[in-house]
């Protein structure tokens, strides 16, 4: 059992049991090594607590009998551990996009919608997912290849709100995949292998199986450690910038019935990077869709806000997500008319 101690110790340090074992915590378990290790470790650390540990499994149905086998495995593991398992099967394949990136994003969105729903129904305070340090490295590299800002360099955040009452937490970000496998071997615990992980259809798989090993062999044997440090530095910088953006937003915004009024002069006085963060924070505050607001669109909106309209008729422009921008004098109005 000694092989299990490093993972347990890291998990207990990163997410102390006294913070969660008196409430309901939901663990997302796919059946793969990472999530099986997470639920086994949390089950061990929950001993003595008055709360409840639950398991959630979302079956996309994309791999037929293999997907159903994953669900059966998770349900059996839950029975062995004495944990309630909530499982749901999707209509396999309907959520696939035209390309791998769209498909991955669609699948991810469906999973998080499911987790949010189960968290609300069960009264869970936390929803734990099994992203590891290796996942963080792959995410940062993926974001670099696509083109990214500070938030993308920071990778996946350790925590974020999932619902009004539940927090999503990734307590294995301090743990490597090698440590996960060592932990499971020490327990004699099996897990499921996802055959799609061997496919080169998805960019993340190519990063994991081809790009990172190539960089380690030909450029920097410590490339994973270097990317981890980069994500930590970027995360700290991004956290500070987000805080500054929230302060600036609070000083220049006035709510309206179907949107907001913004002091365009105050927005224009900010550095361009911070001004864009202010607008992003505003979008999140209003619950407006961010996906189609590219860097080009943010730049266009900032340019529109900076145009002089003194003595001119009201100027209008539409942006993705059915967002209407209106500029008059020093006021920028942003609204989302009802469909």
Could you tell me the residue ranges of all domains in the chain? Answer: 2-218, 233-335
Structure-token match 């069960």, residue found: 122
List the 24-28 sheet strands across, edge first. Answer: 84-89, 52-59, 24-28, 126-128, 167-169, 159-161
Selection from 73, 213, 226, 251 nearest residue 144 by Cα: 226
Contact residues for 253 (Cβ-Cβ < 8 A; gap 6+): 260, 261, 262, 263, 282
Gap between the Cα atoms of 339 and 334, Å rounded:
16
Q: What's the per-residue H, E or C state across 133-189?
A: HHHHHHHHHHHHHHCCCHHHHHCCCCEEECCCCCEEECCCCCCCHHHHHHHHHHHCC
Selection from 117, 105, 128, 101 nearest residue 41 by Cα: 128
| Tens of each residue's pLDDT in the chain, 339 residues | 344 568 999 999 999 999 999 999 999 999 999 999 999 999 999 998 899 999 999 998 877 889 899 999 999 999 999 999 999 998 655 544 444 444 677 888 899 999 999 999 999 999 999 999 999 999 999 999 988 888 899 999 999 999 999 999 999 999 999 999 999 999 999 999 887 777 777 888 999 999 999 999 999 999 999 999 999 999 999 999 999 999 999 999 998 888 899 999 999 999 998 999 999 999 998 889 888 888 899 999 999 998 765 545 568 899 998 999 999 888 999 999 876
Fold adopted by 233-335: 3.30.465
Selection from 159, 247, 190, 175 nearest residue 70 by Cα: 190
CATH architecture of residue range(s) 2-218? 3-Layer(aba) Sandwich (3.40)
Q: What is the DSSP string of 244-305?
A: HHHHHHHHHEEEETTEEEEEHHHHHTS-HHHHHHHHHHHHHHHT---TT--HHHHHHHHHHH
- CA count, 13 A, side-chain hemisphere, 271: 5
């Amino acid at each position: 059992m000694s092989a299990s101690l490093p993972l347990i110790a890291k998990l207990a340090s990163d997410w102390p049991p006294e913070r969660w074992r008196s409430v309901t915590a939901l663990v997302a378990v796919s059946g793969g090594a990472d999530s099986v290790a997470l639920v086994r470790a949390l089950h061990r650390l929950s001993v003595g607590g008055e709360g409840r540990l639950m398991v959630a499994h979302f079956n996309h149905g994309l791999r037929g009998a293999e997907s159903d086998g994953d669900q059966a495995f998770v349900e059996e593991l839950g029975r062995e551990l004495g944990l309630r398992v909530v499982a749901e099967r999707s209509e396999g394949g309907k959520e696939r996009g035209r390309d791998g990136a769209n498909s991955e994003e669609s699948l991810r969105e469906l999973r998080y919608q499911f987790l949010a729903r189960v968290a609300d129904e069960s009264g869970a305070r936390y929803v734990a997912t099994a992203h590891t340090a290796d996942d963080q490295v792959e995410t940062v590299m993926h974001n670099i290849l696509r083109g990214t800002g500070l938030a993308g360099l920071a990778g996946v955040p350790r925590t974020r709100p999932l619902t009004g009452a539940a927090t999503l937490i990734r307590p294995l970000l301090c743990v490597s995949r090698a440590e996960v496998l060592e932990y499971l071997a020490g327990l004699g615990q099996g897990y499921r292998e996802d055959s799609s992980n061997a496919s080169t259809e998805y960019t993340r798989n190519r990063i994991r199986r081809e790009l990172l090993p190539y960089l380690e062999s030909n450029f920097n044997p410590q490339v994973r450690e270097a990317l981890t440090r980069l994500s930590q530095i970027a995360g700290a910088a991004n956290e500070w910038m987000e805080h500054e953006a929230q302060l600036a937003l609070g000083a220049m915004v006035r709510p309206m019935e179907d949107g907001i009024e913004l002091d365009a002069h105050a927005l224009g006085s900010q550095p361009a990077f911070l001004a864009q963060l202010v607008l992003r924070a505003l979008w999140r505050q209003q619950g407006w869709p961010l996906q189609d607001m590219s860097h080009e669109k943010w730049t266009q909106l900032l340019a529109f806000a900076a145009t002089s309209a003194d003595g001119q008729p009201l100027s209008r422009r539409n942006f993705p997500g059915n967002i209407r921008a209106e500029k008059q004098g020093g006021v920028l109005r942003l609204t989302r008319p009802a469909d």
